[in-house]
Structure formats: structure tokens, C-alpha cells
Amino acid sequence: MLPIAQCMVVLALGTSIRAQSEKVDLEALRQKYAASCTPSSTSEACKQMRSKLEYALYTKLLLSMEDGETPPPSAIEVGLKAETPQLRALVLQVSPQSPARMAAAVASIDSPYATVRQEAANVIRSHGDDKQRRMLERQSSGRRPDYPVADAPPDAARLKVKPYPGATYRYFASNDEQAYFSTADAPDKVVAFYTQGGKKAYSASELKQAMKSRAMAAMDQNKMIQIMQEAQRKGQDPAQAMMAWQKSLAGLGADPTRNFEEREGVVSPRYIPGDDTFSRVVVVFRDDLVGATAIVVPLPSPATEAAMNVSGDEVMKTIARQQFMTQPIIDTPPPGD
């Protein structure tokens, strides 16, 4: 491994386009970084200096490759460990195959940046061993931007279930409709955490039956009237009561088991509803492809979530339309009869 001072010399090669526009003295910046920071430094000042130096190397590599030059080994070494997504993705793409490149690809598969994950997957798919390539079966489909934008784990309001202590969010296996976490703890320990307070862990068939029973009860034609009357008796807003009821049904149309049953590497999945409306279901199983216990939370699609956020006025308009459509049709006699 190169000493940090030598690595910073590599990062400061040439005068980059960005440095020119920002009038950054790269040599002075390199010296300041080498004197006060290390690659593991987390201070904001060190992170900003590292970012500028890494971007300088990125633009230098682009310009040199345009001239037909081969990236030097020292630049490859720095780039494979870069935090700047443009540099890391570029070096994963152009570096010769080596154990260091493969190690960087495996580490990069969980980058918050889809552009980096994509290059890492390409390396693993072409040069990885059987275990590494099988892990890519968990790679979720989703947007693949041409520019680096960091993904973020779903916040507590969208997740709606407690995070398992110490679990790691796996970016490569997550998307807008699924949050995937993993832990080294045994599945039984994870299930015990999520069944606290009397909650139940279901098999796939048991969960489907429980959801069917809940849906059938919700489809009772008298249910809507009962909810509104009960709200009025309690002095509550009937529209708000109807809105809450409608939101409680939003999860009933989805099948949380469809992506897990009979799927390669998924061992004994168990399903724990987060509430009695099945708006969130935590799926726990041993994932032989990832080599860990998986904790997956299926999430509603953006369209479904938008429907769940319908306003009270919209609910009342829907009710009015439904009532109008169910009224008997009365023929109007022609004039003069």
C-alpha cells in the first residue's frame, strides 16, 4: 500500500478542470491533507479536502485516457478506495483485473450510489466466484441514473416498523418497494424481537388466510355506515374516520409473500405483521445467497402510497359517488302523460 503522502501526490496530478474553475492550489491542498488527515478521518474539513483531491484525480484520469494513456497503478490503488462516486466507478470500470479490484467491487456493491453499484456488479458478474455471482440474484431492479445520486434508506415514517438493532441496510437489494436489511444474528432471535407484545409470526399460507379474513370483514357493505355513525356518536369527524378506514385497507391488496416463497436461497421465511391492518409486514429468513439473516420490509408502491394519502374531502366525494351509483334508477314519464 502506498504511504498517504504518495497517495496524495497521485491525487494532485496535474491541474484539473474543476481545480482551474475553483482556483484551488492542489499542491497546497495535498500538503495540508497529508499533514492533518488520514483516509479514515471523518471531520468535515478532511472530507472536503479529500473530495477535492479525488475529483482532481478523476478529471485527470479522464483527460489522460482521452489521450490514450493507461492509468498508473498508483492512481488505480487510490481510485479503488475513493469515496467520490465518479472516481470509484471509473476505476472499477477501467482497472485491470486483480484481487484488489475484486475486493473493491464486493465492498462497492452496497454503495449508496447506483452508478458505483452497477460497475461493481459488472466486475463481480465477469470475474467473481460462484458465491459472489449468486449474491447478485438479490440485486433489485430500479432506476439506474447516469450520474451519481446517493440513495437513502427509508425513514421511520415510511418504514413503519422498528429497525432491528445493529442490522445493516443493503442498498443493492433494496428499492422503492422493498427495504432489505441483514444481520449476523440467527433468524429465531430476529423473529423474537419482532413478535414482542403478542405479535405473531406467520407462514405464507397462514398470512394469506389472515389477510383474506381481514379483507372480507372490511368489504361488509354496512361497515362504512357503522364507521360514520360511530364517529358521529363520539363527536368525531366522519370524513376523518372514513379516511383512516380507507388507509387501513391499503395493504390488503398486496401479497407480501410473492417475492420470497420458493425463491433460491430463501430459507424458512416468516412473516410478522407490523399492525392488524397488514400495512407493513416484516419478512425474516436465512438468506443463503447473501450469507446472513435477512430482514425485508415490502413497501407500497408510490401510486399506492399516494392513494393512502387521500384527503378527507376526497373520501367524502368518493362516498357520495358510490351512494349515487347505488341509487335505483327512476324512469321519468314523458311530458303530457
* Residue boundaries of the structural domains of the chain: 4-138, 156-324
pLDDT at 331: 44
Rounded distance, CA 121 to CA 109, Å? Answer: 7
pLDDT at 243: 73
Cell readout for 265 is 436461497
pLDDT at 20: 45
Q: Does the pLDDT value for residue 127 go beyond 90?
A: yes
- Per-residue pLDDT, averaged over 197-205, amounts to 94
Which of 22-36, 235-249, 270-284, 286-300 reaches the highest mean pLDDT?
Answer: 286-300
In percent, the amount of the chain with pLDDT more than 70 equals 77
Task: Return the number of other C-beta atoms located less than 10 Å from residue 234's C-beta.
Answer: 9
Q: Which of 18-27, 42-51, 117-126, 295-304 has the lowest mean pLDDT?
A: 18-27
The set of residues, in sequence order, having a beta carbon less than 8 Å from that of 147 and lying 6+ positions away, is 115
pLDDT at 2: 39
Q: Does the pLDDT value for residue 65 go beyond 80?
A: yes
Cell readout for 315 is 373520501
pLDDT at 16: 39
Q: Does the pLDDT value for residue 74 go beyond 50?
A: yes
Q: Does the pLDDT value for residue 280 go beyond 80?
A: yes
Give the residue among 261, 281, 296 at the shortest CA–CA distance from 183. 296
Rounded distance, CA 290 to CA 170, Å? Answer: 10
pLDDT at 11: 43
**Angular region, 168: left φ>0, alpha ψ -120 to 50, beta rest:** beta
Burial per residue of 321-337, b for 16 or more beta-carbon CB atoms within 10 angstroms, e otherwise: eeeeeeeeeeeeeeeee
Q: Does the pLDDT value for residue 121 go beyond 50?
A: yes
* Mean per-residue pLDDT over the chain, rounded: 82
